[in-house]
Amino acid sequence: MPSASVRSHLARTLLRRLGEAALTLLVIAYLTILGLLLAERGRSGLPAQPLQTAGEALVSLADYLLHHPGTYVWKHQEWTAAALVLTIFGRSAGLLLFSLGLAAILGFALGVAMAERRSLGRTLLLVLSILGISTPSFFLGMLLWVFNIALARRLGTPPLPPTGFGWDAHMLMPALVLAMRPLAQIAQVTCVALAEVEGQDFMRVAQAKGLPRRLIRARHALRNIWVTFFTTTATSLRYSLATLPVVEFFFLWPGVGLTLIEAIQAGVIPLVTDFILLLGLLFLGVNLIVEVLYPWLDPRLRQNDLHQEEERPTWAQRWARMVAAWRDLWQRVHTWRKPRERIGLAALPRRTVPVVMEAPSAATQGARRRWWVRRILGNPALVLGTGLVLGLVGLMVFGPRLTPANPYQIHGVMMIEGKIGAPPYRPSSVFPWGTDHIGRDIQALVLYGARTTLTLAFWGMLARILLGTLLGLLAGWWQGSWLDRLISRAVGVWAAFPLTLFAMIVIQALGIQQGAWVFIVAICLVGWGEIAQMVRGQVLSLKPQPFVEAARVIGASTRRILLYHILPQLFPALITMAVLEMGGVLMLLAELGFLNIFLGGGYQLAIAETGRMMPVIARFSDIPEWAALLANIRDWWRSYPWMAWYPGVAFFLTILAFNLWGEGLRRLLAEVHLNLMRLFNRYVLAGLLVIGVVLNWATAGTTPLSQYKRVAVQFDAQRALTHIRALTDPAMGGRETGTPGAEFAARYIADQMKAIGLLPAGDNNTYIQTLVNPRYHLTQPPRLELLDAQGHSLLSFVYRQDFAERLVPHACAGVAQGRVIGVTTGPLLEESPTDPYGLNRRNLREYILLMREEDFERLPPQIAAGILVISEDAHNLQRRFLYPQAMRGLCRQPIMWISPQAAEVLLATAGSTLADFYASAAELRAGEVALTPPGAVVQMQVLPTLDSGVDENYYNVIGYLPGSGSEVQVPGGLNLDHYVIMVSAYYDGLGVGPDGTLYPGANDNASGVAALLELARLLKESPYPPKRAVVFVAWAGGERGEGLSVVNVMNAKTGFSSLTVEAVLELSGVAAGTGKHMLLGEGSSYRLVRLFQRAASRLGVGLTTRGRGPHADLPVQAGFGGRSALTAYISWDGADQWAHTPQDDLNSIDPERLRKVGQTTALSLLMLSREMSGW
């Protein structure tokens, strides 16, 4: 071929691929921004609203492209965007290329060497490749770390650096981990490709001519595998990109993977998009280079490419084909809607032909059996894989019976083998595999968790196979159509997206607390591409086959051909792919778990403190699940290795089992040519469907949820509404703690508990527990005045119209007077608890500072005499908050919200305007601050009191139903009535404001107390008495930002402190809200979320875990003594609409919302109080 033609072809190919790459990167950027915006809404407690968010993502994409940030603040340092991105990307690119080069060299050499050893070499290579693709990267990192230390001790040399960055020995360990999977794949493909080439005719001719074997291999064999080698190497880059975040996180390599994990959690969308695009560009660039090199590596491909180039349609032809395809689709839709006329044909004459079937002889049957035995026993991967998979099935079924321990039981300080200790406990006779940080038995967690993990992986694999098969069938059958091109482009986008990070973004976008379906969707979305490509290729190879042409000739429809002719031919490949995909899905779950992404999201717990009294936070799951056990191990596996090794080994053996089984099945199906239509035909599938329907119908009416539903629907919303009306009566005075109204409310609730028939659990065999705790009360209206030079008032701003006190997050009070100064700040450069912007050097303590809300979040309140915060939300001026416990103290600088109109008046005295104020803030760089000139004198006054006449007591109202399960023993050796389910609601309100405004608190939280009382009545009158004790507590302090103290409640009645509180249901804001669904708030235990989801589904009630309860975004102080029990925070989505305002009155209550929440909670409470399992 002339060189000019080659250059022209390469130029056209390059331009076309560059255009496709640009489009791919644009789609990647949009999907990244969309996922991050959805995740941000989830963290903010907002519903997903996908259509609205999709539009916002388009706007954000345009802003990203047209107004890209020029600088970033990262790690307390300001960087130009290019310098930060290129510096961090260079570290990862160098590590990736080094590991890929290492894998290519070693894999090629190993594959060539193994090819020379024939069967032994291939067996060894098979073992190596399966081990390489079955070992999670973090697990391999731990093994390599241990080997590194052991080798260094044995040789007496310094070990390789285990963590950190450096273009020296620091690279070796992360590069080796990154290279393992590519190395195994390259070695296996090289060996197989070389063996196939050596069996071809031209190789035999060269050998017959007497050429040396080394020369034949160098000049003939190796030249014919270069395309396969480079293709495998380029494809391996995708797996390296998927593993990169895990490897960098494990070895603390400050590259793209580690930075992306941190940036995603911080919500820095432009920076995340930058790095995702660069990783995609790296992947596309490597693939483009390999594709351009193909014609140079194999001359046969040059003619094929030129021929395809000549046949490539123009854009006009493509547009015409697309229009024709849509027209054809439209006509088909209309055709399907019309009834088809049956064409009657004369029946063919019946002719009976006797068929004589000869039974196979005994010798033939024996030969067949021996042949099958040889095929199976000669397939060690199949034998070993089948044994391991059967063992896993047994573990799913019988795993909980293999240990007497309870995976949910938490052990505190205890004596083990004569020594007193605290968790985590190392392996011993009491805990064979040790415990985790909170004292749960690792062995029980692993054995119980097998069912959850493998079930999740199975459904994720099945969804992935179904979607990939469907799209592959469509793309392959309509080759070259707009649908085929669309699916192929989508596969290209998915391939360029880092797999693990893609899954992480999807899970956070959908809401990790939503449950298993979120993980199933994420697993499906990130992995359908390879399956679709495989199916498409199979369909393309089957379309020209005679049996397909025959079906077309007789008039079979496309649907019939695909379902009855094409799909059955794909079963062998799909079965093998499904088994191998199980290994891939489990690998993804393991690496996500290592990055703290696991089923339900878990809960945070402080497990230690650093030297500066900073808490060490770890994340735990409340259900047994393998991936959840891998969370937190990065920082703790060397100190407590048992917490990492057992779940790590479980994942490794399970992935190995499915990879072995998949490889064994592939070899078996290739050798024996089984007709799987005998197993998977329409009769078998129809039979299985009928059996499933019958079993579902037979069991649906006998499940506990179905039995208890008849009781749960008797929840009476109108009766609960009567309690709300009583608690919001003006005589209750808003129920502020420390006022007579709170005591009146407590007495009313106690009388209702007595009338229901609950047993008293308060002080001295009463229903009320009295605790002493003084509170501050704001009894006189705050004041904000503009003064003249003599100190006389020029202008008094109107309370609740121009200003209001701000008590969150700092509860401050006092009198302040000084000249007003406007302050704006740039992005925070360095975290400092005292003076991040150096404002102490400016002597501002005698001034009143006026600032934006974002400035207030960056500055401590002690820098000035008083602070005015501009509120863009008018509702902030109407919301009332109470002071917390007096023992926590108050800061002495008053803080107030101020309206933009009032801010404009104050800034005018300083020679500025609000527009200029905001404009100056936009020009500030990181760490910079801007001040306006001093303005007029302003006086602020917020004076709460600790009046000796105010009641310092607050009252918890406690009643209970005893458990009847004294003869039912649970794992751990205790009886069921030893456990307690607590139903709680705070009854206190906001009282009466200093200006005389009454805050009824109907939804927040008279509705929660009313639901609690109705639940107590329902459970007391139920024909199903609780087997666990159920404690109902209406407690005080919720409106002051305090949490329920389970310890205080259980200490009220003698003997209760020895019981174990297993679950706590907190009811608040359950009868009103802007949303459409019942809400389980942030921090709800996933075990309870699953139970409530099933209950809500049974009752037809919508339920979400991403929404806003009545105290959304407000800090809550943990209750005294902490809490280890499972917790569900129950409310209605959007309940913060009128919370803390006078509008939260009886008119805002929706009885239908109250009914839905009440019935769902009642059904869940019946399950909790009676059943040992199922939740």
Tell me if 786 sits within 8 A of 905, measured CB to CB.
yes
Q: 231 and 180 in one domain?
A: yes
Q: Count CB neighbours of 861 within 10 A.
A: 18
Please report whether residue 836 resides in a domain: yes
User: How far is the C-alpha of 555 from the C-alpha of 544, rounded, in Å?
Assistant: 16
Q: Which of 915, 942, 969 is the last residue of a domain?
A: 942
Q: What is the CATH number of the domain that holds 974?
A: 3.40.630.10
User: How far is the C-alpha of 386 from the C-alpha of 301, rounded, in Å?
Assistant: 42
Tell me if 1072 sits within 8 A of 1153, measured CB to CB.
yes
User: How far is the C-alpha of 535 from the C-alpha of 538, rounded, in Å?
Assistant: 5
State the residue for tokens 């040992």: 1172
Please report whether residue 1126 resides in a domain: yes
Instruction: Produce one character per residue of 652-665: b if its CB has 16 or more CB atoms within 10 Å, e if not.
Output: bebbbbbbbbbbbb
Tell me if 160 sits within 8 A of 147, measured CB to CB.
no
Please report whether residue 831 resides in a domain: yes
Tell me if 434 sits within 8 A of 426, measured CB to CB.
yes
Please report whether residue 651 resides in a domain: yes
**Four-residue CA torsion sign, 36, 37, 43, 47:** negative
Give the per-residue SS3 of 513-539: HHCHHHHHHHHHHHHHHHHHHHHHHHH
Q: 1157 and 1098 in one domain?
A: yes
Q: 663 and 752 in one domain?
A: no
Report in angstroms the alpha-carbon separations of 685 from 458, 465, 682: 19, 17, 5
Q: 920 and 806 in one domain?
A: yes
Q: Which of 656, 689, 722 is the last residue of a domain?
A: 689
pLDDT of 310:
46
pLDDT of 610:
58
Q: What is the CATH number of the domain that holds 798?
A: 3.50.30
Q: 606 and 654 in one domain?
A: yes
Cis peptide before 809 (omega within 30 of 0): yes
Mean pLDDT of residues grouped by 10 in the chain (1175 residues)? 59 75 89 91 78 93 92 87 94 93 90 73 73 92 93 90 91 94 87 77 73 72 80 85 93 94 90 92 82 65 49 51 54 50 52 57 72 78 92 92 88 86 91 92 95 95 95 89 86 84 91 90 93 91 87 83 86 90 96 92 70 65 91 86 94 95 86 63 68 58 80 96 96 92 96 97 94 86 93 93 92 93 87 72 91 92 93 91 73 93 95 93 88 95 76 88 84 81 97 94 96 97 94 95 92 91 96 95 91 95 92 84 87 94 95 97 96 77
Burial of 491: CB neighbours in 10 Å, binned 0-12, 13-18, 19+:
buried
Q: 761 and 656 in one domain?
A: no
Q: Would you give the DSSP letter of residue 200? A: S
Tell me if 1070 sits within 8 A of 1128, measured CB to CB.
no
Please report whether residue 1106 resides in a domain: yes
Q: 760 and 657 in one domain?
A: no
User: How far is the C-alpha of 81 from the C-alpha of 64, rounded, in Å?
Assistant: 12
Cis peptide before 158 (omega within 30 of 0): no
Please report whether residue 92 resides in a domain: yes
pLDDT of 1135:
95
Domain count, the chain: 4
Which residues are CB-neighbours of 67 under 8 A, at least 6 positions away?
none
State the residue for tokens 């706590």: 1064
Tell me if 273 sits within 8 A of 289, measured CB to CB.
no
Beta strands in 386-543 (DSSP E): 414-416, 419-421
Q: 175 and 122 in one domain?
A: yes
Q: 832 and 745 in one domain?
A: no
Domain that holds residue 933: 783-942
User: How far is the C-alpha of 492 from the C-alpha of 21, rounded, in Å?
Assistant: 9
Please report whether residue 899 resides in a domain: yes
User: How far is the C-alpha of 473 from the C-alpha of 461, rounded, in Å?
Assistant: 18
3-state secondary structure at position 417: coil
Identity at 840, one-letter amino acid code: N
Q: 1166 and 1033 in one domain?
A: yes
Q: Would you give the DSSP letter of residue 722? A: H
Q: Would you give the DSSP letter of residue 169? A: G
User: How far is the C-alpha of 936 from the C-alpha of 930, rounded, in Å?
Assistant: 18
Q: Which of 910, 926, 942 is the last residue of a domain?
A: 942
What is the DSSP code string of 201-266?
HHHHHHHHTT--HHHHIIIIIGGGTHHHHHHHHHHHHHHHHHHHHHHHHHHT--SHHHHHHHHHHH
3-state secondary structure at position 819: strand
Q: 206 and 159 in one domain?
A: yes
**In the beta sheet, which residues pair with residue 680?**
none
Tell me if 1009 sits within 8 A of 749, measured CB to CB.
yes
Report which of 622, 932, 1032, 959 is spatially closest to residue 758, judged by C-alpha positions: 959
768-772/953-961 β-pairing = antiparallel
Please report whether residue 984 resides in a domain: yes
Identity at 475, one-letter amino acid code: A
User: How far is the C-alpha of 414 from the C-alpha of 402, rounded, in Å?
Assistant: 24
Tell me if 818 sits within 8 A of 937, measured CB to CB.
yes
User: How far is the C-alpha of 1171 from the C-alpha of 86, rounded, in Å?
Assistant: 57
Tell me if 868 sits within 8 A of 906, measured CB to CB.
yes
Q: 635 and 711 in one domain?
A: no
pLDDT of 612:
54
Q: What pTM was computed for the model?
A: 0.86
Q: What is the CATH number of the domain that holds 567?
A: 1.10.3720.10
